[in-house]
Structure 1
């Protein structure tokens, strides 16, 4: 009888842990700071989530891009908008926010992507970016930023990625289906 109770208790604990971890979607996620976003989307690939608030009249887009499953240091993640591309060609023209986790430290920067042969070099984007920051905790990198978009667009192509860092240089991402399919049209409103 005692063995059955221990087994039942163990099963109950495991079930609770599973349900808690699988429930970490965007709608029930709470940020550690006072940041609040009006919309969110659980992205279909690479354990990622996007939170945002968009003011269409000013073009201001506040975002938090969460990328989970980071098991080691020397990794990079990126989230990008492509104001001129299509879903089939989402990378060239993309304007990326990049975070690198290296030796326990996270740094964030912007990188315009002009071709498929990018090495995520730091550079200015085609729109202003402020408040760019990245954090790492609980095996998750979060990129925060405010973008000021031009032209009042209400939807754009966006893409997100992950890869490894060698030295201080991001290496090409994997060509697995999760990576090559990490793109879609994002309806901001």
Structure 2
């Protein structure tokens, strides 16, 4: 029983750690907000500075395959991939890079986008890729349509098409830039899930199985 209970505690710790508020970055990078995005095991950390309308972001996601790519984008017209102004991170000659793409069709190539972007950097660690960037936005933009995506391959230096699974097609949402800074992840749209609760909520439900049922099983086995 002690052995089984120890495994349960490890599962609780692992599940509790899988949220944006537990993530740390190199260079002591800090952000006011973070969101556990609802698709593709992705996370967005961000700080919006209203004094100069700049958005500083760190987007974290695992590529579909180790030599694949990850992307975070703003679409000024709709929460959709076509028309999005994207940042895409991938490997070139074994080294991480991040480039801007104006996604005007299904065929893409590196290009200038509608927003000025600075401090672009990409990292690859622990089977995830991270995009860092600062984006200058119009002063009138208080909400943005965000789109994120992952792919499995890069062909001739260009990200290849992503899969068309449900999670790939639903990886969109709205980011409310007017939200006040918090220390935990926040819900910024109906399509963006947030992390809340903690160990107590994890205890109540682990992978859909109630803790009461688990301990009832212990009592049946060892009682």
TM-score grouping bracket, smaller chain normalisation: 0.7 to 0.9
Q: Which has the higher strand share?
A: 1
Quote the Cα distance in structure 2 between the aligned partners of 1:178 and 1:71: 12
Quote the Cα distance in structure 2 between the aligned partners of 1:31 and 1:159: 22
Among 39, 43, 48, which residue is 1:49 paired with?
43
User: Is the CA contact 1:73–1:102 (under 8 Å) kept in the aligned structure 2?
Assistant: no
Quote the Cα distance in structure 2 between the aligned partners of 1:63 and 1:25: 16
After superposition, the Cα gap between the structure-2 partners of 1:151 and 1:71, relative to the gap in structure 1 and judged at 3 Å, is closer
Count of equivalent residues? 177
| Aligned residue in 1 for 2:157 | 168
| Aligned residue in 1 for 2:81 | 91
What is the DSSP-based 3-state SS (H/G/I as helix, E as strand, rest coil) of the residue aligned with 1:27?
helix
Mapped pair 1:33 → 2:27: yes
Among 58, 64, 68, which residue is 1:75 paired with?
68
After superposition, the Cα gap between the structure-2 partners of 1:41 and 1:15, relative to the gap in structure 1 and judged at 3 Å, is same
What is the DSSP-based 3-state SS (H/G/I as helix, E as strand, rest coil) of the residue aligned with 2:14?
helix
Which consecutive residues of structure 1, in runs of 5 or more, have no partner in the other structure?
Answer: none
| Aligned residue in 2 for 1:101 | 91
After superposition, the Cα gap between the structure-2 partners of 1:21 and 1:33, relative to the gap in structure 1 and judged at 3 Å, is farther
Quote the Cα distance in structure 1 between the aligned partners of 2:64 and 2:173: 26
User: Is the CA contact 1:155–1:188 (under 8 Å) kept in the aligned structure 2?
Assistant: yes
Q: Which has the higher helix share?
A: 2
Which consecutive residues of structure 2, in runs of 5 or more, have no partner in the other structure?
Answer: 179-223
Alignment RMSD, CA only? Answer: 2.0
After superposition, the Cα gap between the structure-2 partners of 1:50 and 1:128, relative to the gap in structure 1 and judged at 3 Å, is same
Tell me which structure has the larger Cα radius of gyration: 2
| Aligned residue in 1 for 2:183 | none
